[in-house]
Structure 1
Amino acid sequence: MHPVLEGIRLVTFDLDGTLIDSVPDLAVAVDRALDDHGVTGRGEGRVRDWVGNGSHKLLERALRDATGELPAPEVHESAHEAFLHYYGQAPNVKTRLYSGVREALDVLHGRGFALALVTNKPHAFIAPILEEFGLSAHFGLCLGGDSLPQKKPDPAPLRHVARHFGMDVQECLMVGDSRHDIDAGRRAGFRTLAVPYGYNHGEPVAASRPDAMVESLAELV
């Protein structure tokens, strides 16, 4: 086992950019929502830099990039609703697990670690994705960006997870791909682990100074 797991009983994972590469499907839904509002789609490459702060922020960034200005509230909300509709229709067409994810989750689950998922993605999309990959039974708790009043980088969701499992924060590890994950983990009192392959707004996640980094989650086990 990786040294970062010493003394750890609960491992909390981010989803997008950590366990799955979901940008191809997210980009399709974003571009279809923009097209409905007379705006040219932005493409997968642009969307990849905007993921991580929840779906409302994703659509705000897309609209602002396309028009050069902050969208009016009614336009933002309408585009967001369209995005939710399109993404809900097809969240798993091109989405893939990153290498090493299944191996790591299988081993950690089998060895009795409590596993949780904390993502800023709307909660309604979590179950279909986990079911598609046969991972639903691995997680004892899943929180979306709309599950609580706060979302990452606020530490509240992670503290909620620790309380749910009856764990001291010093027994908990946060695993993510972005500065928001590392910041939330650090502020919650969790140990932190980063992967470098995900979505961090074009910045190296190492700059956030996680407690440890791995190239693949398979290195955990």
Structure 2
Amino acid sequence: MNVEGVLFDLDGTLLDTAPDLGAALNHLLVKENLSTLPLELIRPVASHGAKGLIDLGFGKNIDATFFAELRQSLLDYYSANICEHTNLFDGVAEILAELDAKHIPWGVVTNKPGWLTDPLLADFSEFSSARCIISGDTLPVRKPDPAPLFHAAELLGVAANSCIYVGDAERDIEAGRRAGMTTMLAAYGYIAEHDTPETWQADISVSHPDELSLWLLENLQGI
């Protein structure tokens, strides 16, 4: 494969943000005198944003005004506690260091808004060498639209069809395919029981970052 640059999703691919997102949801549930949810129920929807979390905790048919209030409260709490329990997935630090050592350009394309992405990544020195950080509000559109991936490839200085995009959600694989990139499913990420990743048509699937590391070592030569 002619892969010269690597782009990653963030939540569920590089960072395990589910514990802090789950804490924000459970904070809301306690405020509303409802039972908290275990992390194993929250983890699969952790990359679906505030709406996915609120739908899980409160149901999908709540009043729009109440939903807006819950969403703001969740985001306020999460923003104030954004990196209490979030960590890199095992093996990710080594992957990023290897890419840097081989002088392979890499970056992040996430749907997380910049006002959350930037302070979160500031807590991890591993991201200081990223060639680009594209957040959900960097452009007028976000994944599954391919425009953020095209923009990221341009910032890497690599043709889109010479990039690989790694993500754990259907929108990631769709965006990567529409951009003409090689797509890799991070099957260790936030995938719910009702998801059907076998239909997403990812080019490659890995069940642990170690498999991702091995693939990169075999397919990226660097300069």
For this structure pair, what is the TM-score category when the shorter chain's length is used for normalisation?
0.7 to 0.9
CA spacing shift, 1:40–1:150, aligned 2, 3 Å? farther
Q: Separation in 1 of the partners of 2:180 and 2:11?
A: 22
The reply to whether residue 46 of structure 1 matches residue 41 of structure 2 is yes
What is the deviation of 1:166? Answer: 4.2
2:87 paired residue number: 96
What is the deviation of 1:97? Answer: 1.3
Q: Separation in 2 of the partners of 1:47 and 1:147?
A: 27
Q: Separation in 2 of the partners of 1:11 and 1:26?
A: 26
TM-score by length of 2: 0.84
2:110 paired residue number: 119
Please show how residues 113-152 of structure 1 align to structure 2 within 5 Å. 113-152=104-143
Q: Separation in 2 of the partners of 1:97 and 1:47?
A: 18
What is the deviation of 1:151? Answer: 2.1
2:178 paired residue number: 187
TM-score by length of 1: 0.85
Residue identity in the other structure for 1:119: T
Secondary structure in 2 aligned to 1:193? strand
CA offsets per residue over residues 188-212 of structure 1, 9 Å max, x none?
1111112221112224634423112
Q: Would the aligned equivalents of 2:106 and 2:156 in 1 still touch at CA under 8 Å? A: no
Unaligned 5+ runs, structure 2: 218-223
Please show how residues 1-221 of structure 1 align to structure 2 within 5 Å. 6-64=1-59, 69-202=60-193, 203=195, 205-214=197-206, 215-216=208-209, 217-219=212-214, 220-221=216-217
Query: CA RMSD of the aligned region, Å?
Result: 2.1
Q: Would the aligned equivalents of 2:26 and 2:37 in 1 still touch at CA under 8 Å? A: yes
What is the deviation of 1:153? Answer: 2.0
CA spacing shift, 1:44–1:173, aligned 2, 3 Å? same
Which 10-residue stretch deviates more, 103-112 or 120-129? 120-129
Q: Separation in 2 of the partners of 1:22 and 1:170?
A: 29
Q: Would the aligned equivalents of 1:106 and 1:138 in 2 still touch at CA under 8 Å? A: no
Q: Would the aligned equivalents of 1:25 and 1:92 in 2 still touch at CA under 8 Å? A: yes
CA offsets per residue over residues 15-55 of structure 1, 9 Å max, x none?
11111211111100111123334544333222212222333
What is the deviation of 1:79? Answer: 0.8
What is the deviation of 1:146? Answer: 2.8
Identity %: 33
Secondary structure in 2 aligned to 1:213? strand
Q: Would the aligned equivalents of 1:54 and 1:145 in 2 still touch at CA under 8 Å? A: no
CA spacing shift, 1:174–1:30, aligned 2, 3 Å? same
Q: Would the aligned equivalents of 1:54 and 1:122 in 2 still touch at CA under 8 Å? A: no
CA offsets per residue over residues 59-113 of structure 1, 9 Å max, x none?
344321xxxx422221111111111111112222221211211111111122222
2:221 paired residue number: none
